Amino acid sequence: MQDRRHFLKFSASAALGGIAASIPSAQASQCQLPKWDDESDYIVVGSGFAGLSAALNTRRKTGDNVLVLEKMQVIGGNSAINGGWLAIPKNPVQLAQGVKDDSPAELVKDQMISGRGMADEAALTQIAEHALEAYQLCIDSGVKFKKDFNIQVGGHNKARAIRTLHGTGGDITTKLYEVGLKEGIEYRLQNCIEDLIMDGDKVIGLKVRQNYRFPDMKTGKNIYIKANKGVILASGGFARNMLLRAAVDPSLDPTLDCTNALGATGEVMLSAMAHGALPVHLNMIQTGHWGSPDEGGFGWSNALLSIGWHQGMSVSVLSGKRYMDERADRKTCSEAIMKNRYSDGSPAYPLVFFNYKDHATDERVTRSLRDEMAWKVNSLDELAAKFNVPLAPLEASVMRFNQQVKARKDQDFGRKMDTAVELKPPFVVSRIWPKVHYCMGGLKTDLGGRVIDARSMSPITNLYALGEITGGVHGEARLSSTSCLECLTMGIVVSDTVKADHA
């Protein structure tokens, strides 16, 4: 139950990392169970890809009541501002393009390489094998994807990444939410989870701050909601929790911007840890190498660079030369980019540029130019002058790049050159610098999504988790377009688990 032992453990673990001030306290209560203000069969915490998928699939497979609690004022969480990428082996566009040799196993192979020995092959295999089912869930829910769009993104060995029509995760979250409403799922906004309610080692409900206004914990009031069959945690990562970030990874540059929504602060994960949930890989925090210093948050650079990484090149403003394989995975690229610094240690933002005429009317270009996070330059001379780049080595670098495009072989960094084009002015040029993007670490679960108790290494009864709140799946680096896939597929898997657990 919610007793003194749990309270002391929570307070000590929070103070150890210097994070006590950033999370709501797990307050001690009387030994008896609380008086319940409300109840549901299942309570899903979070309304992003993971929460919406888990809620919808659980409702369909069990027929039980499902309540979704979201602490912010809008549905969608961090997923709503996601770039809308989804890796689907054997998707219809891929097959129409003639890519016949892809498979779930091929995707897992790429992810295992990216994970650098720390990824969970069984978990990744389960996710990959449910990929087409997740895609069909989107299609059946009314999600629209870009017509004839399927490309190879960083770290993948095949073109298997599709994207939503508007290039945003909101295309998925809105549709899943609308379908859930029609099928009887209840959604409540501004409900912040303060603690799990335990009966021994079994989760039986939640202490919730109702009518909460982020980030003021003095707003709203506390209520207790009973979960008759289970609590499903899908509340995302903690990339916006600066104190927790510093505690688990002191090497992470605190000046880096973050792509996540402001509510990505990890309180629910910490509450579960206070009740014995096992954390793994918390220090593995990924940066997105496509970030722009000229816009805040997730921004538009992710969309623009889907052109730049494939067709263009990136150069250092210090040397005027290429410095990396532009199509490598996020960790490799981010580390290469952040080596570009002036003598005082401040960022020397590298440049990415590609041909303007090939994309003059593309929304990714027109919007970026409009918002001045990218610029049109008419020559290499103009580019060098505008960004203070040494002209002679820049010209030599472009000449060498164009030669490698013709030869379809990058002798400098081993980049795959199948989509690269010969560079000719005018150019679209943007500055890049990584942003904190994704937490690989979180709560350890079994393959069914049951949260593991650190004391017994067995599942905590009636507690499930999926999505970015979980850890140990991707290892050191997650590949682009696999987070949405994980969240949607694990919603399917968890729904099967809860049905089996309460048959």
List the catalytic residues. 330
Contacts (Cβ under 8 Å, ≥6 apart) of 151: 159, 161, 306, 310, 419
d(CA 79, CA 48): 5
Q: What is d(CA 359, CA 351) in angstroms, rounded to the nearest whole number?
A: 18
Q: Which two tokens stand for residue 217?
A: 């914990």
The structure tokens listed for 5 are 């032992």
Do 444 and 233 contact (CB within 8 A), yes or no? no
CA–CA gap between residue 194 and residue 207 (Å, rounded): 5
Map residue 66 onto helix, strand or coil. Answer: strand
Provide the H-helix boundaries in 164-241: 170-182
d(CA 187, CA 287) in angstroms, rounded, equals 31
Residue 287, strand partner residues: 436
> How far are the Cα atoms of 78, 371, 445, 451, 489 from residue 457, in angstroms, in the given order?
30, 51, 10, 9, 24
**Structure token digits, residue 399:** 């000449």
Of 97, 112, 146, nearest in space to 482 by CA: 112
Chain center to CA of 367: 23
Write down the residue that tokens 């369909």 correspond to.
Answer: 60
321-345 burial, b for 16+ CB within 10 Å, e for fewer? Answer: bbbbbbbbbbbbbbebbbebeeeee
DSSP lists the bridge partners of residue 351 as: 315, 431
Neighbour-count burial for 274-308, b at 16+ CB within 10 Å, e otherwise:
bbbbbbbbbebbbbbbbbbbbbeebbbbbbbbbbb
Taking each helix axis from N to C end, the angle separating 391-407 and 380-387, rounded to the nearest 10 degrees, works out to 130
CA distance readout (Å), 267 to 14, 212, 360: 11, 14, 45
State the burial class of residue 503 (Cβ atoms within 10 Å of its Cβ: 0-12, 13-18, 19+): exposed
